[in-house]
Structure 1
Amino acid sequence: MDVNIKEEYETGDGIKEEDAEEELPHAEVVDIFQEGLAMLVQDPLLCDLPIQVTLEEINSQIALEFGQAMTVRVCKADGEVMPVVVVQNATVMDLKRAIQRYIQLKHQREGGIQHISWKYVWKTYQLSFSGEKLDNDEKCLREYGIKNRDEVVFVKKLKKK
Protein backbone atom coordinates (compact mmCIF):
# COMPACT_ATOMS: atom_id res chain seq x y z
CA MET A 1 0.00 0.00 0.00
CA ASP A 2 1.45 3.35 -1.02
CA VAL A 3 0.54 6.69 0.50
CA ASN A 4 0.38 9.87 -1.52
CA ILE A 5 1.73 12.97 0.13
CA LYS A 6 0.89 16.22 -1.59
CA GLU A 7 2.81 19.36 -0.84
CA GLU A 8 1.02 22.65 -1.27
CA TYR A 9 2.33 26.17 -1.09
CA GLU A 10 0.79 29.58 -1.37
CA THR A 11 1.82 31.84 -4.18
CA GLY A 12 2.06 35.58 -3.73
CA ASP A 13 -1.57 36.03 -4.79
CA GLY A 14 -2.90 33.67 -2.05
CA ILE A 15 -3.64 30.77 -4.41
CA LYS A 16 -2.50 27.30 -3.26
CA GLU A 17 -0.68 25.24 -5.84
CA GLU A 18 0.51 21.66 -5.71
CA ASP A 19 4.29 21.52 -5.70
CA ALA A 20 4.94 17.83 -6.02
CA GLU A 21 3.33 14.53 -5.35
CA GLU A 22 5.50 12.01 -3.57
CA GLU A 23 4.59 8.36 -3.15
CA LEU A 24 5.91 6.61 -0.08
CA PRO A 25 5.63 2.90 0.66
CA HIS A 26 3.58 1.98 3.70
CA ALA A 27 6.64 0.77 5.63
CA GLU A 28 8.33 4.15 5.19
CA VAL A 29 5.24 6.02 6.40
CA VAL A 30 5.13 3.75 9.46
CA ASP A 31 8.82 4.51 10.13
CA ILE A 32 8.19 8.26 9.87
CA PHE A 33 5.22 7.94 12.23
CA GLN A 34 7.25 5.88 14.74
CA GLU A 35 10.02 8.52 14.70
CA GLY A 36 7.47 11.24 15.41
CA LEU A 37 5.92 9.16 18.16
CA ALA A 38 9.34 8.56 19.74
CA MET A 39 9.90 12.33 19.80
CA LEU A 40 6.46 12.84 21.32
CA VAL A 41 7.06 10.46 24.23
CA GLN A 42 10.28 12.31 25.10
CA ASP A 43 8.08 15.17 26.33
CA PRO A 44 8.33 15.42 30.15
CA LEU A 45 4.56 14.93 30.48
CA LEU A 46 4.58 11.75 28.39
CA CYS A 47 7.98 10.25 29.25
CA ASP A 48 6.44 7.50 31.43
CA LEU A 49 4.68 5.94 28.44
CA PRO A 50 6.04 2.91 26.58
CA ILE A 51 7.62 3.26 23.11
CA GLN A 52 4.69 1.46 21.41
CA VAL A 53 2.21 3.88 22.94
CA THR A 54 -1.43 4.03 21.87
CA LEU A 55 -3.52 7.14 21.39
CA GLU A 56 -5.65 6.08 24.36
CA GLU A 57 -2.57 5.99 26.60
CA ILE A 58 -1.51 9.46 25.46
CA ASN A 59 -5.00 10.84 26.12
CA SER A 60 -5.08 9.20 29.55
CA GLN A 61 -1.72 10.69 30.49
CA ILE A 62 -2.84 14.16 29.38
CA ALA A 63 -6.10 13.78 31.36
CA LEU A 64 -4.01 12.84 34.41
CA GLU A 65 -1.88 15.95 34.04
CA PHE A 66 -4.99 18.16 33.85
CA GLY A 67 -6.64 16.47 36.85
CA GLN A 68 -9.43 14.94 34.75
CA ALA A 69 -8.36 11.38 35.54
CA MET A 70 -6.86 9.40 38.40
CA THR A 71 -4.57 6.42 38.75
CA VAL A 72 -5.92 3.42 40.63
CA ARG A 73 -3.28 0.91 41.66
CA VAL A 74 -4.69 -2.59 41.17
CA CYS A 75 -2.84 -5.28 43.16
CA LYS A 76 -2.83 -8.87 42.01
CA ALA A 77 -2.27 -11.89 44.26
CA ASP A 78 1.24 -12.42 42.83
CA GLY A 79 2.27 -8.97 44.08
CA GLU A 80 2.13 -7.22 40.70
CA VAL A 81 0.72 -3.69 40.88
CA MET A 82 -1.01 -2.33 37.78
CA PRO A 83 -1.35 1.46 37.54
CA VAL A 84 -4.72 1.84 35.79
CA VAL A 85 -5.97 5.26 34.66
CA VAL A 86 -9.69 6.09 34.84
CA VAL A 87 -11.66 9.33 34.66
CA GLN A 88 -12.50 11.09 37.93
CA ASN A 89 -16.17 10.04 37.94
CA ALA A 90 -15.51 6.44 36.85
CA THR A 91 -17.74 3.57 37.91
CA VAL A 92 -16.61 0.11 39.01
CA MET A 93 -17.43 -1.13 35.47
CA ASP A 94 -15.17 1.59 34.00
CA LEU A 95 -12.35 0.38 36.27
CA LYS A 96 -12.91 -3.23 35.19
CA ARG A 97 -12.75 -2.22 31.51
CA ALA A 98 -9.58 -0.20 32.16
CA ILE A 99 -8.00 -3.24 33.84
CA GLN A 100 -8.94 -5.38 30.82
CA ARG A 101 -7.38 -2.85 28.39
CA TYR A 102 -4.24 -2.58 30.54
CA ILE A 103 -3.73 -6.35 30.65
CA GLN A 104 -4.51 -6.85 26.95
CA LEU A 105 -1.98 -4.15 25.96
CA LYS A 106 0.59 -5.65 28.30
CA HIS A 107 0.13 -9.11 26.79
CA GLN A 108 0.32 -7.73 23.25
CA ARG A 109 3.61 -5.99 24.01
CA GLU A 110 5.11 -8.99 25.77
CA GLY A 111 3.66 -11.61 23.41
CA GLY A 112 1.81 -13.36 26.21
CA ILE A 113 -1.62 -14.95 26.44
CA GLN A 114 -3.77 -14.13 23.43
CA HIS A 115 -7.22 -14.55 24.96
CA ILE A 116 -8.49 -14.12 28.50
CA SER A 117 -12.03 -15.04 29.47
CA TRP A 118 -13.02 -11.91 31.36
CA LYS A 119 -16.43 -13.42 32.07
CA TYR A 120 -14.62 -16.15 34.02
CA VAL A 121 -12.29 -13.65 35.73
CA TRP A 122 -15.13 -11.45 37.02
CA LYS A 123 -17.16 -14.52 38.04
CA THR A 124 -14.22 -15.91 40.04
CA TYR A 125 -12.59 -12.72 41.37
CA GLN A 126 -13.77 -9.34 42.53
CA LEU A 127 -12.20 -6.03 43.40
CA SER A 128 -11.89 -4.85 46.97
CA PHE A 129 -10.92 -1.52 48.55
CA SER A 130 -10.07 -1.29 52.25
CA GLY A 131 -11.85 -4.59 52.89
CA GLU A 132 -15.04 -3.47 51.10
CA LYS A 133 -16.06 -5.43 48.02
CA LEU A 134 -16.73 -3.38 44.88
CA ASP A 135 -19.80 -5.41 43.99
CA ASN A 136 -21.99 -2.76 42.35
CA ASP A 137 -20.75 -2.11 38.78
CA GLU A 138 -22.88 1.04 38.46
CA LYS A 139 -21.54 2.70 41.63
CA CYS A 140 -18.89 5.43 41.28
CA LEU A 141 -15.44 4.74 42.67
CA ARG A 142 -15.73 7.98 44.67
CA GLU A 143 -18.73 6.50 46.52
CA TYR A 144 -16.43 3.75 47.78
CA GLY A 145 -13.93 6.42 48.86
CA ILE A 146 -11.40 5.65 46.12
CA LYS A 147 -9.12 8.57 45.26
CA ASN A 148 -6.03 9.09 43.11
CA ARG A 149 -3.25 6.54 43.79
CA ASP A 150 -5.42 4.38 46.07
CA GLU A 151 -4.92 0.61 45.98
CA VAL A 152 -7.62 -1.84 44.93
CA VAL A 153 -6.98 -5.58 45.24
CA PHE A 154 -8.20 -8.66 43.40
CA VAL A 155 -9.80 -11.10 45.84
CA LYS A 156 -11.18 -14.53 45.12
CA LYS A 157 -14.95 -14.71 45.49
CA LEU A 158 -16.20 -17.07 48.16
CA LYS A 159 -18.73 -19.62 47.04
CA LYS A 160 -22.19 -19.18 48.50
CA LYS A 161 -23.59 -22.26 50.22
Structure 2
Amino acid sequence: MGERKRSRYPSFPDEYLTGLEQRLQLLLEETPVLADVAKFDTEELKDIVLRESGKGILIILHRESEGSVEIVIPRNSSVNELKKAVGRKLNLLNAKQRRINWKYIWQKHNLAFGNQQLTNDLTTLEEYDLENSSVVTFVRKPRKRKPKKAGKRKNEENVRSDFQ
Protein backbone atom coordinates (compact mmCIF):
# COMPACT_ATOMS: atom_id res chain seq x y z
CA MET A 1 0.00 0.00 0.00
CA GLY A 2 0.95 3.65 -0.29
CA GLU A 3 3.41 4.87 2.23
CA ARG A 4 2.51 8.06 4.03
CA LYS A 5 4.48 10.92 2.58
CA ARG A 6 6.83 12.55 5.08
CA SER A 7 6.62 16.23 5.63
CA ARG A 8 9.36 18.18 3.97
CA TYR A 9 9.91 20.10 7.20
CA PRO A 10 10.36 18.49 10.61
CA SER A 11 8.11 19.43 13.50
CA PHE A 12 7.13 23.07 13.53
CA PRO A 13 8.59 25.51 14.54
CA ASP A 14 11.98 24.72 16.15
CA GLU A 15 13.68 22.45 13.62
CA TYR A 16 12.01 24.26 10.74
CA LEU A 17 13.15 27.64 12.01
CA THR A 18 16.71 26.45 12.59
CA GLY A 19 16.97 25.24 9.00
CA LEU A 20 15.33 28.36 7.65
CA GLU A 21 17.60 30.58 9.73
CA GLN A 22 20.70 28.80 8.40
CA ARG A 23 19.50 29.09 4.79
CA LEU A 24 18.73 32.79 5.20
CA GLN A 25 22.14 33.43 6.75
CA LEU A 26 23.84 31.68 3.80
CA LEU A 27 21.75 33.67 1.37
CA LEU A 28 22.70 36.94 3.06
CA GLU A 29 26.39 36.03 3.06
CA GLU A 30 26.55 34.74 -0.53
CA THR A 31 24.46 37.40 -2.27
CA PRO A 32 26.37 40.66 -2.83
CA VAL A 33 23.17 42.67 -3.25
CA LEU A 34 22.06 41.63 0.24
CA ALA A 35 25.43 42.30 1.89
CA ASP A 36 24.21 45.48 3.58
CA VAL A 37 21.10 43.84 5.06
CA ALA A 38 21.33 43.82 8.83
CA LYS A 39 21.32 40.50 10.64
CA PHE A 40 17.72 39.33 10.88
CA ASP A 41 16.03 38.74 14.20
CA THR A 42 15.01 35.16 14.98
CA GLU A 43 11.99 36.40 16.96
CA GLU A 44 10.72 38.30 13.93
CA LEU A 45 11.23 35.20 11.81
CA LYS A 46 9.18 33.13 14.29
CA ASP A 47 6.46 35.78 14.21
CA ILE A 48 6.26 35.68 10.42
CA VAL A 49 6.12 31.88 10.33
CA LEU A 50 3.44 31.75 13.06
CA ARG A 51 1.32 34.34 11.32
CA GLU A 52 1.63 32.86 7.83
CA SER A 53 0.95 29.32 9.03
CA GLY A 54 -2.26 30.44 10.73
CA LYS A 55 -0.99 29.35 14.14
CA GLY A 56 -0.52 32.88 15.43
CA ILE A 57 -2.56 36.04 15.78
CA LEU A 58 -1.58 39.66 15.51
CA ILE A 59 -2.25 41.75 18.61
CA ILE A 60 -1.87 45.52 18.31
CA LEU A 61 -0.66 47.26 21.46
CA HIS A 62 -1.80 50.87 21.35
CA ARG A 63 0.28 53.26 23.41
CA GLU A 64 -1.12 56.77 23.72
CA SER A 65 2.10 58.73 23.52
CA GLU A 66 4.23 56.43 21.40
CA GLY A 67 1.94 54.88 18.79
CA SER A 68 1.10 51.25 18.20
CA VAL A 69 3.23 48.11 18.25
CA GLU A 70 2.37 44.83 16.50
CA ILE A 71 2.88 41.62 18.46
CA VAL A 72 2.43 38.12 17.01
CA ILE A 73 1.61 35.40 19.51
CA PRO A 74 0.35 31.79 19.25
CA ARG A 75 -3.45 31.49 19.18
CA ASN A 76 -3.71 29.44 22.38
CA SER A 77 -1.58 31.84 24.47
CA SER A 78 -2.47 33.03 27.94
CA VAL A 79 -2.53 36.62 29.19
CA ASN A 80 0.78 35.95 30.95
CA GLU A 81 2.38 34.88 27.65
CA LEU A 82 1.01 38.04 26.01
CA LYS A 83 2.59 40.13 28.78
CA LYS A 84 5.94 38.41 28.19
CA ALA A 85 5.65 39.05 24.44
CA VAL A 86 4.85 42.73 25.12
CA GLY A 87 7.95 42.94 27.32
CA ARG A 88 10.19 41.33 24.68
CA LYS A 89 8.88 43.55 21.89
CA LEU A 90 9.15 46.80 23.86
CA ASN A 91 12.60 45.86 25.16
CA LEU A 92 13.74 45.39 21.55
CA LEU A 93 12.32 48.77 20.59
CA ASN A 94 13.86 50.50 23.62
CA ALA A 95 17.22 48.70 23.48
CA LYS A 96 19.17 51.96 23.36
CA GLN A 97 17.28 53.48 26.26
CA ARG A 98 17.24 52.35 29.86
CA ARG A 99 15.94 48.93 30.84
CA ILE A 100 12.25 48.64 31.66
CA ASN A 101 11.27 47.10 35.01
CA TRP A 102 8.37 44.88 33.91
CA LYS A 103 7.67 43.58 37.39
CA TYR A 104 6.88 47.15 38.46
CA ILE A 105 4.86 47.85 35.29
CA TRP A 106 2.63 44.80 35.79
CA GLN A 107 2.11 45.68 39.48
CA LYS A 108 0.67 49.05 38.46
CA HIS A 109 -0.93 48.30 35.06
CA ASN A 110 -3.08 45.77 33.24
CA LEU A 111 -3.69 45.19 29.58
CA ALA A 112 -7.21 45.96 28.43
CA PHE A 113 -9.24 44.88 25.43
CA GLY A 114 -12.17 47.21 24.89
CA ASN A 115 -13.61 47.93 28.32
CA GLN A 116 -12.39 44.65 29.77
CA GLN A 117 -9.15 44.42 31.74
CA LEU A 118 -7.13 41.25 31.23
CA THR A 119 -6.63 40.56 34.92
CA ASN A 120 -6.24 36.78 35.08
CA ASP A 121 -2.80 35.76 33.79
CA LEU A 122 -3.84 32.12 33.33
CA THR A 123 -6.85 32.89 31.11
CA THR A 124 -6.36 32.32 27.39
CA LEU A 125 -6.74 35.13 24.90
CA GLU A 126 -9.62 33.24 23.27
CA GLU A 127 -11.55 33.37 26.56
CA TYR A 128 -11.27 37.16 26.45
CA ASP A 129 -12.43 37.04 22.78
CA LEU A 130 -9.16 38.43 21.40
CA GLU A 131 -8.88 37.69 17.70
CA ASN A 132 -6.52 38.58 14.90
CA SER A 133 -5.82 42.36 14.81
CA SER A 134 -7.36 42.99 18.24
CA VAL A 135 -6.20 46.20 19.90
CA VAL A 136 -5.07 46.14 23.53
CA THR A 137 -3.96 49.06 25.67
CA PHE A 138 -2.21 49.68 28.98
CA VAL A 139 -4.57 50.75 31.76
CA ARG A 140 -3.74 51.66 35.31
CA LYS A 141 -4.92 49.14 37.89
CA PRO A 142 -7.49 50.45 40.35
CA ARG A 143 -5.81 51.59 43.51
CA LYS A 144 -6.28 49.40 46.51
CA ARG A 145 -7.21 51.65 49.37
CA LYS A 146 -6.00 50.73 52.80
CA PRO A 147 -8.79 50.55 55.35
CA LYS A 148 -8.72 53.42 57.81
CA LYS A 149 -7.51 52.52 61.23
CA ALA A 150 -9.98 53.00 64.02
CA GLY A 151 -8.58 55.97 65.82
CA LYS A 152 -9.21 57.01 69.37
CA ARG A 153 -12.48 58.84 69.24
CA LYS A 154 -13.89 60.67 72.11
CA ASN A 155 -17.29 59.48 73.02
CA GLU A 156 -20.08 61.98 72.80
CA GLU A 157 -20.14 62.72 76.52
CA ASN A 158 -16.50 63.83 76.54
CA VAL A 159 -17.04 66.00 73.47
CA ARG A 160 -20.02 67.75 75.05
CA SER A 161 -18.16 68.31 78.29
CA ASP A 162 -15.32 70.04 76.41
CA PHE A 163 -17.70 72.64 75.06
CA GLN A 164 -19.59 73.36 78.31
Asked if Structure 1 and Structure 2 have the same fold, meaning a TM-score greater than 0.5 normalized by the shorter chain, the answer is yes
Backbone CA RMSD of aligned residues: 2.5
Could you list the runs of 4 or more consecutive aligned residues of structure 1 that deviate by over 6 angstroms after TM superposition?
none
Structure 1 segment 2-81 matched on structure 2, within 5 A: 33=25, 36=28, 51-81=38-68
Shift in CA distance, 145/55, structure 1 to aligned 2, threshold 3 Å: same
Structure 1 segment 113-128 matched on structure 2, within 5 A: 113=98, 115-128=99-112
Report if aligned partners of 1:126, 1:154 keep a CA contact under 8 Å in 2: yes
Shift in CA distance, 36/135, structure 1 to aligned 2, threshold 3 Å: same
Among residues 81, 93, 101, which one is paired with 1:94 in the alignment? 81
Q: Which secondary structure state, in structure 2, belongs to the residue aligned with residue 143 of structure 1?
A: coil
Shift of 1:77: 2.8
Q: Which secondary structure state, in structure 1, belongs to the residue aligned with residue 71 of structure 2?
A: strand
Q: Which has the larger radius of gyration?
A: 2
Among residues 123, 128, 148, which one is paired with 1:144 in the alignment? 128
Aligned residue number for residue 159 of structure 1: 143
In structure 2, distance between residues paired with 1:118 and 1:95: 13
Shift of 1:84: 0.7
CA deviation string 1:115-151 (max 9, x = no partner) = 1111110011110111011000000001000000010
Matched, 1:129 2:113: yes
Q: Which secondary structure state, in structure 1, belongs to the residue aligned with residue 126 of structure 2?
A: helix
Structure with more of its chain in strand, by fraction: 1
Structure 2 gaps, min length 5: 1-24, 146-164
Q: What amino acid does structure 1 have at the position aligned with 2:82? A: L
Shift of 1:34: 8.6
Report if aligned partners of 2:50, 2:72 keep a CA contact under 8 Å in 1: no
Using the size of structure 1 for normalisation, the TM-score is: 0.66
Shift in CA distance, 124/56, structure 1 to aligned 2, threshold 3 Å: same
